Chains A and B, each alone.
Chain A
Amino acid sequence: DVKVTQSSRYLVKRTGEKVFLECVQDMDHENMFWYRQDPGLGLRLIYFSYDVKMKEKGDIPEGYSVSREKKERFSLILESASTNQTSMYLCASSLGSTFEPQHFGDGTRLSIL
């Protein structure tokens, strides 16, 4: 079974802090994704990566950056956290083929005070 592990289930940070969310997958998947989930809005794509050191902006990249130095790890960075970034963050991975399902981690519930 695919295992996608997010480093924290709950995280509380302060406005202006630099925040790192880590995601690791163990199935050698080429593709990795970061979403945020907000009530009534479903999942919105922040960034994705189809290969090591490669990144692409999703629908809502503003205020975020990512890093993919190794195939199994995809990090989401909030450069200067703001209260409107309080949300549930979900990491996913999938095989390289276009139509493969995504496999998700448990999510990180991030609160910015």
Chain B
Amino acid sequence: AQKVTQAQTEISVVEKEDVTLDCVYETRDTTYYLFWYKQPPSGELVFLIRRNSFDEQNEISGRYSWNFQKSTSSFNFTITASQVVDSAVYFCALKDYGQNFVFGPGTRLSVLP
């Protein structure tokens, strides 16, 4: 069965610190996609990245980077030099064939000034 685990319920950091949000997934399919979404206090989930199961290259977008490791079934998200505007709930999600999206429970990140 599909499952997404985000073991960190809440994280607090001070501005400019680096922070990594963990995501571990389970699926029997060999073809699947992983996603990260950000939910700021305003409520709307904002799509950040999609990664397919055949592409294990790390990705960097500005201060954001993602580390995908199939060997450990993990898709971790790192924010470098965090800012107050990064404060949000972050969701990891999994999509494989024939199933709907499965979301993790989310990690609430608080970046303190």
* Residues of A that sit less than 8 Å from B by CB: 9, 33, 40-43, 45, 48, 58, 88, 90, 92, 98-99, 101-107, 109
> Are A98 and B42 closer than 8 Å at their CB atoms?
no
Q: Which residues of A contact B105 (CB under 8 A)?
A: 40-42
A-B contact count (CB 8 A): 45
Taking Cβ atoms with an 8 Å cutoff, the residues of B that contact A are 9, 33, 35, 37, 42-47, 50, 52, 91, 95, 97, 100-101, 103-106
* Cross-chain contact of B97 among A45, A88, A98, A106 (Cβ < 8 A): A98
Is the CB–CB distance between B44 and A42 below 8 Å? no
Tell whether, in the assembled complex, residue A101 and residue B50 are in contact, meaning their CB atoms are under 8 Å apart: yes
Instruction: Return the 7 tightest CB-CB contacts between A and B, nearest first.
Output: A104-B45, A107-B43, A42-B105, A43-B103, A99-B33, A101-B47, A42-B103
- A105: chain B residues at CB < 8 Å are 44
Query: How far apart are the CA atoms of A87 and B106 in the complex, in Å?
Result: 16
Asked if B104 and A107 sit within 8 Å, CB to CB, the answer is no
